[in-house]
Amino acid sequence: MRVAGAASAIVDKQPHTRKANKSAPGRPKRESVPKREARRVVLNRAPGRPKRESVPKRGARRVVLNRAPGRPKRESVPKREARRVVLNRAPGRPKRESVPKREARREVQHPMSAAPESSSDPDSAKPPSAATPVPPSGTWSGRFSEPMSERMQRFNASIDFDRRLAHADIAGSRAHAQMLAERGIITHGDAQAIERGLAQIEGEIARGEFTWQRAFEDVHFNIERRLTALVGDAGKRLHTARSRNDQVATDLRLWLREAIDALVVQLVALRRALHDLAAGHADSIMPGFTHLQVAQPVTFGHHLMAYDAMLARDIERFADCRKRVNRLPLGSAALAGTSYPIDRERVARTLGFDSVTANSLDAVSDRDFAIEFEAAAALVMVHLSRFAEELVLWSNPRFGFVTLADRFCTGSSIMPQKKNPDVPELVRGKSARVIGHLTALLVLMKAQPLAYNKDNQEDKEPLFDTVDTLADVLAIVTDLVATGLTANVERMRAAAHEGHATATDLADYLVRKGVAFRDAHEVVARAVREAEARQCDLAALPLDALQRFSPLIDADVFGVLTLDGSVASRDHIGGTAPSRVRAAIDAARHEIGSKT
Ligand code: ARG
C-alpha cells in the first residue's frame, strides 16, 4: 500500500488523473482542432507522394471523404456533413470543444521540435508555424521534415499513462548520471547540475506543478526536456550511454519491484485477517463440499485456512518473480550495449538491483518479468474469485452461512427486499480483467523479433491496471474479512446435519471392525438410502435400523456419527480437527511474523 500509494500519487496530482482517463478508457480527451487545421491533418500528404496540385474546393472535400478506389463516386454531400466525416468523431465520444488556433497547431507539430531547445519552460513552448519544416533539434526529430498529425501524436504518445514511471525514471537518471561522472564520461559539474534539476523536477511532480506534454511523447522525453530547460547543456548530456529502450525497461522493473513489495504487504494483511477469523472458528462445524454437494464435515476455521494456504503460495510466487524483476537492464542502451566505459554494477548497487542483466538484446526487449508478475497476480485473483464465489453462495439465505455487513452490499432500485453481495461479485468479476491482462502481455510478447519493438509500449496499461486492481481488491477483501463477515455457526452446523456428512465416518468405523472398505461403502450407501426414505440424516437413524445393515454396528457408532467426533478424528497435519486448525493458524502466524 505504502509504495503503490506513492506511485499513484504522482499520477493523481497530474491534470489527467487515472479516473479521468477511465472515462474514455486509456485515452485522453482530444483537443479540438479548428476547421482549417483539421482539413490539413486529414490531407496529410504521405511521404514520397508527389505534392498535390492545387485542388478546387469541391475536389479537396472529396479527398477528405476518402473514397476507396473502385467505389462509386459519392453524391455531393452538403458541407456540414463532409466536415463531420473529416473530424471523424468516434461514436459515443463527446463532441470536441473548440480551441484557439495556436493550441491546435501545437498538436500537429513533430514532438521533439515543439519546444525550442533554449526554452526555459516547456509550458511556454512556441512551435514554429505549421507550414515550417521541422528544424533538426538534436533528437530523432532532426531527420524528419513532416509534422505529425494530432491523431498520430496521440497514437504514438505514452505520456498519459507512463508518467506513473516518473519516480522510477528520476531514480534511474540519478544513478546513471552519478556513474557517468565517476567514470569521467561527464563532468562532476554536469552531474551536480543534473542532480539539482532532477530534484527540482521531482518536487514539481510531487506538488502537481509539472506540466506533462503529449508533444514530448513519453515520461523519459518529458523529464529530459524539462531538465534541459532547467540546467541547460548538462541536461542534454544525461542521455549519454543510454537509450530510452534500456531506460524504460529499468523504469518498469523499478516500478514493479515497489508494486510487488506493496502487494505483498497487503497479502500479509489479508492473511492475518484470515488467521484471526479462523482462530475464532476452529471448532465451528460446517459441511465441506465436493461438487458443491455436502461431502464431509469440516470446521469453518479449516475452510478459511485453505485460502490462507493459497495466499501463502501467492506471496511465494511474488517473491520468486521479484528475483527476476530485480535485475538491471541499464547499460544495454538501444540494443547492443554502449561504447562508453560504463559501470553497470555500480548503477545496480545504487538502485538496489541484485544483479545486471546478461544480454543487452534480451534486456531491452523481453518483458517476461512482467508476464510472470501478471501470472502470479492472476492466480491471486483466481483464488480470491473462489472465496468471493463462496461468499455469494453463503450469503444467500438458502445457505445463510454468513452475513455480510451492509457496507459491502447494495440494494436494488426496484426490489426493496434485496441485499446484493456486490463486493464479492465485483471481486469475482475483476478476476476476469486481471486474467485478461496476463493474456494481453503474453500475446504482446509472442513472436516479437529481437530486440526492442514499440509494441512493448503497450505493456504498461495492463500492468498498471493489474496492480491497481489488486491493491483495491486486497484492501476491500481484507476489510471484509476483518470486520464485515459474520459466520452464522448454527446455520452451518444445521447444514452439516442435513447431507449425511458423516457417511464416510460410518464406513471407516466398519473398516476398523474388519469390513473391507468397498463392502463398508456399500453397507453405508444402503443405510443412506434408508435415511433418505425416512427423511432424516444418517446420524439420526436409530441403532436397530443401522444394525439391519451390519451386525457389527454397536452403540459406540454414535461417537463417530456425530459431527464433532467426525472432525476431531481427522487429527493429522493438514486435517480439519480443531487442534490441527489451531496449530495451522499458529504456524502461519509464526511464518509471517517476521513479515511487515
Ligand atoms: N515509450 C516507450 C515505451 O514505452 C519508450 C521506449 C521508446 N523507445 C523507442 N525506441 N521508441 O516502450
Catalytic residues: 291, 412
Reported as a pLDDT band with limits 50, 70 and 90, residue 506 is: very high
**Pocket lining for ligand 1, CB < 6 angstroms:** 158, 162, 218, 244-245, 248, 452, 454, 456-457
Reported as a pLDDT band with limits 50, 70 and 90, residue 419 is: confident
Question: Which residue in the block uniquely carries the three cell numbers 477483501?
Answer: 477
Indicate if 306 and 254 belong to the same structural domain: yes
Q: Is pLDDT at 433 greater than 90 in this prediction? A: yes
For residue range 4-38, what is the model confidence (pLDDT) as tens digits?
Answer: 333 333 333 333 333 333 333 444 444 444 444 44
C-alpha distances in angstroms, 549 versus 510, 522, 530, 588?
A: 11, 10, 10, 44
| Nearest protein CA to atom 3 of ligand 1, as residue | 457
For residue 486, list its beta bridge partners: 403
Cα 96 to middle of ligand 1, angstroms = 29
User: What helix, strand, coil percent values describe the chain, rounded to 5?
Assistant: 60, 5, 35
pTM of the model: 0.78
Cα 457 to middle of ligand 1, angstroms = 6
Query: How far apart are alpha carbons 211 and 196 in whole angstroms?
Result: 18
Indicate if 164 and 197 belong to the same structural domain: yes
CB distance 297 to 284 below 8 Å = no
Q: Is pLDDT at 435 greater than 70 in this prediction? A: yes
Taking the CA of residue 454 as reference, the ligand 1 atom at the shortest distance is 12
Burial 261-290 (b: 16+ CB within 10 A, else e): bbbbbbbbbbbbbbbebbbebbbbbbbbbe
Count CA atoms closer than 13 A to 253's CA, side-chain side. 32
**Mean pLDDT computed over 496-507:** 92
CATH no. for residue 194? 1.10.275.10
For residue 487, list its beta bridge partners: 402
CATH no. for residue 398? 1.20.200.10
In a domain, 410, yes or no: yes
pLDDT given at position 414 = 80
Query: How far apart are alpha carbons 446 and 449 in whole angstroms?
Result: 9
CB distance 262 to 4 below 8 Å = yes
Query: How far apart are alpha carbons 108 and 127 in whole angstroms?
Result: 10
In a domain, 221, yes or no: yes
Reported as a pLDDT band with limits 50, 70 and 90, residue 530 is: very high
Taking the CA of residue 218 as reference, the ligand 1 atom at the shortest distance is 1
Indicate if 368 and 306 belong to the same structural domain: yes
In the chain, the percentage of residues whose pLDDT exceeds 90 is 71
**Mean pLDDT computed over 66-93:** 42
Indicate if 270 and 415 belong to the same structural domain: yes
Reported as a pLDDT band with limits 50, 70 and 90, residue 44 is: very low
Output the DSSP codes for 388-436: HHHHHHHHSTTT--EEE-GGG-B--SS-TT--B-HHHHHHHHHHHHHHH
In a domain, 124, yes or no: no
Indicate if 342 and 476 belong to the same structural domain: yes
Q: What is the CA 576 to chain-centroid distance, rounded?
A: 35
pLDDT given at position 6 = 37
Higher pLDDT, 439 or 84: 439
Query: Which one of 494, 528, 560 terminates a domain?
Result: 494
Q: Is pLDDT at 412 greater than 60 in this prediction? A: yes
Indicate if 234 and 263 belong to the same structural domain: no
Amino acid at 483: T
For residue range 118-147, what is the model confidence (pLDDT) as tens digits?
Answer: 333 333 333 333 333 333 343 566 788 888
pLDDT given at position 341 = 98
Cα 221 to middle of ligand 1, angstroms = 10
| Nearest protein CA to atom 12 of ligand 1, as residue | 457
- Environment class of 348 (CB within 10 Å of its CB; exposed 0-12, middle 13-18, buried 19+): buried
Taking the CA of residue 219 as reference, the ligand 1 atom at the shortest distance is 1
Q: Which domain holds residue 211?
A: 159-240
Indicate if 362 and 474 belong to the same structural domain: yes
Higher pLDDT, 7 or 169: 169
Indicate if 250 and 301 belong to the same structural domain: yes
In a domain, 449, yes or no: yes
Query: Which one of 479, 494, 509 terminates a domain?
Result: 494
pLDDT given at position 66 = 40
Indicate if 254 and 281 belong to the same structural domain: yes
In a domain, 328, yes or no: yes
Indicate if 249 and 174 belong to the same structural domain: no
- Rounded mean pLDDT of the chain? 83
Q: Is pLDDT at 337 greater than 80 in this prediction? A: yes
Q: Is pLDDT at 368 greater than 50 in this prediction? A: yes
Taking the CA of residue 158 as reference, the ligand 1 atom at the shortest distance is 1
In a domain, 523, yes or no: no
pLDDT given at position 411 = 85
pLDDT given at position 141 = 67
Cα 215 to middle of ligand 1, angstroms = 14
Q: Is pLDDT at 106 greater than 50 in this prediction? A: no
Cα 462 to middle of ligand 1, angstroms = 16
The total number of structural domains in the chain stands at 2
Query: Which one of 494, 518, 545 terminates a domain?
Result: 494
Q: Which residue among 218, 242, 364, 458 is best mutated to probe the pocket of ligand 1, counting the most ligand atoms within 8 A of its Cβ?
A: 218
Higher pLDDT, 373 or 561: 373
Residue among 150, 151, 127, 235 at smallest CA distance from 189: 235
In a domain, 275, yes or no: yes
In a domain, 412, yes or no: yes
Higher pLDDT, 417 or 159: 159
DSSP three-state, residue 328: strand
Q: Is pLDDT at 116 greater than 60 in this prediction? A: no
Indicate if 345 and 218 belong to the same structural domain: no
Indicate if 285 and 369 belong to the same structural domain: yes
